[in-house]
A and B are shown apart, each in its own frame.
Chain A
Amino acid sequence: MPVNLIRIDDLTFCYNGLEILSNISFTVNQGDYLGIVGPNGSGKSTLIKNMLGILKPQKGSINLFGQPLNMFRKWKKIGYLPQRLIALNTQFPGTVEEIVQMGISKSQSQKIKNALELMGIGHLATRLIGELSYGEQQRAMLARALVGQPDLLIFDEPTTALDPETRDIFYTQIEKLNCHKGTTIILVTHDTGLIGKYARHLLYIDKKIIFSGTFKDFCASAEMTGFFGAISQHIICHQHDPLLRKQ
């Protein structure tokens, strides 16, 4: 029987009286690779923030690793990459090494080195994070999320600032972690076509769940064609026709 790492029931979140998320329910099992997609302002990041306890929903329940969110303490099991860093100012004096080290013991220097090398920023270890380009900062944050080898990785728009080469390395590494180590992945993006290539399950949300299923089902769904229009639906799915044929 699959183990639920995340169980969300009937979640509703409002901000300033405006409903941002409405009656969201879904589960994520151990070893899943879930892509959460939707247009800008659809509530994807808000959903993740509710899931992680950063925001509090008005209604519904969230369980992490079988425990209600307010009882959950094993945060080291989760690696999270936020969409953008709120507090990061160019004057922040933390080195890349110090940032990546956050949340793990200082004796694990080899792990830090490996994570930095994996993201191709080993040479930037002693540089201040505020002195780096946005893409380099994003790589450092990815290394931080990966370094503790958590059971569940949550990425919110992880590849926006990455060049195509680093983006491919990132997706390949995430796929490896998912396939070989059984790490559960939740990846938020607005690029349905791209994530469809990697995720085994897609959740399309626009304040509520519009679609839940595989990418193949997504492309074949008459409801989604109605939602996007035939041309847009074709463009999203066409990018990965070879993949679809393989399926």
Chain B
Amino acid sequence: MGIGEILHYDFVQRAILAGILIGAICALLGVFLVLRRFSLIGDGLAHVTFGSVAVVLLLGISPFYVTLAALPIVIISSLVILKLTSTKRIQGDAAIGIVSSIGIAAGIILASLSGGYNLDLFSYLFGNILTVNQTELLLAFIVFIVVAATIIFFYDDLFALTFDEELAKTMGIKTVKINIILFILTAVAAVLAMRIAGIMLVSAMLILPPLTALQLSISFRMTIIASLIFSVLSVISGIIISFLLNLPAGGTIVIMNVAFLLLVFGVKKISVLQR
């Protein structure tokens, strides 16, 4: 089967479109998270998503609306992480660890209460972008617009906040408000990314593209753009390769992200050696 034929399928088109949008959302937010040492927030929130999905499935909500239904718990959890870290008595990684453990523990207990691990819950653990529905595609589009608009509108504030939070406060930037917006959007991104990469690999979607872009040592603005490009390229190539080789799409997308990171890292090393 050729690429032209693959792209003919409705569900493949929908998967690529949703993948591009979700990949872009993760890549954009990831730059701020990685630089502020919140890289593992995706992992933590993904674990909470596991718990939330277990609640949703236990309640018998239609799988069509699982993503939407899981959102409130994940958003609240992201704000709990923010609150815990802002007290300065708990480091960011520890706060993520606390929330993450609660999420996964709740998920295991609830899954057991609902009669053990069923197939639906497993599909969220490993993700399957080819099953993305219209509601999720629409949600991804709306969230992408919101994320892009937020970054454009608050660019200067986000730049200052990422550089140094205390300094940003003395510049009159409403750091609490910006943090809340960033964490809520991250929660939404984590839930959406679960559909692409699965709970196990959400953090890869948030970390790898920004990390690859950071290897380029370019300006802040260009780093954001490069992160977005690497993420979109990984999603498109990942979906096509997975289809051609009959591999799981989520894992292939993440492997493509790793491949881009290694490629950029290698090219950078060679260029340094040649100087």
State A1–B35 Cα separation when bound (angstroms).
48
User: Which of B50-58, B100-108, B161-169 lies at the interface?
Assistant: B161-169
Residues of A within 8 A of B220 (CB): 93-95, 98
> Nearest CB to that of A52 among chain B residues?
B170
**B163 close to A88 (CB less than 8 A):** yes
**CB atoms of B35 and A82 under 8 A apart:** no
Choose from B160, B171, B219 the contact partner of A95 (Cβ within 8 Å): B219
A88 CB to nearest chain B CB (Å): 7
Nearest-neighbor residue (CB-CB) of B221 within chain A: A98
Whether the Cβ atoms of B214 and A94 lie closer than 8 Å is no
Contact of B171 among A91, A92, A103 (CB under 8 A): A103
Contact, CB under 8 Å: B163 / A94: yes
- Contact string against A for B residues 150-175, beta-carbon threshold 8 Å, 1 for contact and 0 otherwise: 00000010011011111101111000
Q: Decide: A49 near B35, CB < 8 A? Known: A93-B219, A94-B219, A103-B171.
A: no
A75→B171 contact, CB < 8 A: yes
Contact present for B169 and A52 (CB under 8 Å): yes
Query: Do the beta carbons of A93 and B223 come within 8 Å of each other?
Result: yes
Shortest CB-to-CB span from A49 to chain B, Å, is: 7
Q: In the complex the two chains form, what is the Cα distance from A91 to B220 in whole Å?
A: 11
Most chain B CB within 10 A, of A49, A99, A102, is at: A102
In contact, A54 and B166 (Cβ under 8 angstroms): yes
Within 8 A of A (CB), among B160-215: 160, 162-167, 169-172, 213-214
Is A206 interfacial (CB-CB < 8 Å)?
no
Partner of A131, one of B35, B37, B160, B217: B217
Which A-chain residue is minimally distant from B213 (CB atoms)? A93
State the interface size on chain A (CB cutoff 8 A). Answer: 27
Q: Which of B167, B214, B217 is packed against the most chain A CB atoms within 10 Å?
A: B167
Decide: A85 near B167, CB < 8 A? Known: A73-B172, A91-B214. Answer: yes
Compute how far the CA of A91 lies from the CA of B223 in the bound complex, rounded to whole angstroms. Answer: 11
CB-nearest residue of chain A to B34: A91
Is B90 an interface residue when CB atoms closer than 8 A count as contact? no
Q: How far is the CA of A131 from the CA of B36 in the complex (A)?
A: 18
B218 within 8 A of A: yes
CB proximity to B under 8 Å, residues A176-216: none
A87-B162 in contact given A98-B220, A102-B156 (Cβ < 8 Å)? yes
Contact status B170-A87, CB under 8 Å: no
Q: Which residues of A contact B165 (CB under 8 A)?
A: 86-87
Q: A49-B166, A52-B169 are in contact. Are A87 and B156 (CB under 8 A)?
A: no
A128 at the B interface (CB under 8 A):
yes
Given A49-B166, A86-B165, A91-B35 in contact, is the A76-B172 Cβ separation under 8 Å?
yes
CB contacts (< 8 Å) of A87 on chain B: these are: 35-36, 162-165
A78 contacts chain B at the CB level, 8 A cutoff: yes
Alpha-carbon distance A74/B167, docked complex (angstroms): 15
Tell me the complex Cα distance, A83–B219, Å.
25
List residues of chain A with CB within 8 A of the CB of B169: 52-54
Cβ of A103 and Cβ of B162 under 8 Å apart?
Answer: no
Is A218 located at the chain interface by the 8 A CB criterion?
Answer: no
* Complex Cα–Cα for A67 and B218 (A): 41
Q: A98-B219, A103-B160 are in contact. Are A75 and B172 (CB under 8 A)?
A: yes
| Chain A positions within 8 Å of B162 at CB level | 87, 92
Q: Which residues of B contact A80 (CB under 8 A)?
A: 167, 170
Q: Which A residues are CB-close (under 8 A) to B218?
A: 93
Which residues on A are within 8 Å of B, measured CB to CB? Answer: 49, 52-54, 73-76, 78, 80, 82, 85-89, 91-95, 98-99, 102-103, 128, 131
Q: Which 10 interchain pairs have the tightest Cβ spacing?
A: A75-B172, A93-B223, A80-B170, A87-B164, A52-B170, A103-B171, A94-B220, A93-B220, A85-B164, A95-B219
18 A–B contacts, CB within 8 A, in A order: A53-B170, A54-B166, A75-B170, A82-B164, A82-B166, A86-B165, A86-B166, A87-B35, A87-B36, A87-B165, A88-B163, A88-B164, A92-B163, A93-B35, A93-B217, A95-B219, A98-B221, A128-B219
